[in-house]
Amino acid sequence: MKALIRLGVVRPIRPIECVVDTGAPFCVFPQKFWKDYASQIVWLKHEDDELLPSWLSVVSGIGGGAIRSAPGLIHLELVGFDGTSLAPQLVLASFASDGGRLKDPILGLGGMTFAGRRLEMINEAGNAWIEAID
């Protein structure tokens, strides 16, 4: 399943298409998607910090082999294919230093991506939507 997002507080006009991965604990962004937003990321570690567990500092299983990454917080806006959107919220994500090895951003279900929101999927009809929960 695909979804559209916008990153950061100062967003581009065109949303980014990403893959929704119900097994991913948080979002994963390839370098080509996050490099323009690096100044808007709140990094949760320093470059020389080796004390983080590997599940926070290495992305694996989506690009062949292990890829170094760094955890951080960024504002993410969910955008409907009809152009409507939900308000941006701060989410935990992994920002890969992949050198172009990863193709698509991954929208994981954790990391506060869906806090106060609900993802509905009806497989038989091929429909899915995300809505705010009051």
Band of residue 63 on the pLDDT scale cut at 50, 70, 90: low
Rounded CA separation 41/44 (Å): 9
Helix-strand-coil split of the chain, %, nearest 5: 10, 45, 45
pTM across the whole model: 0.83
CATH code at 32?
2.40.70.10
Residue span of the structural domain in which 36 resides: 2-132
What's the number of domains the chain is made of? 1
Q: Look at residue 56 in the predicted model and tell me its pLDDT.
A: 74
Mean pLDDT in the chain? 81
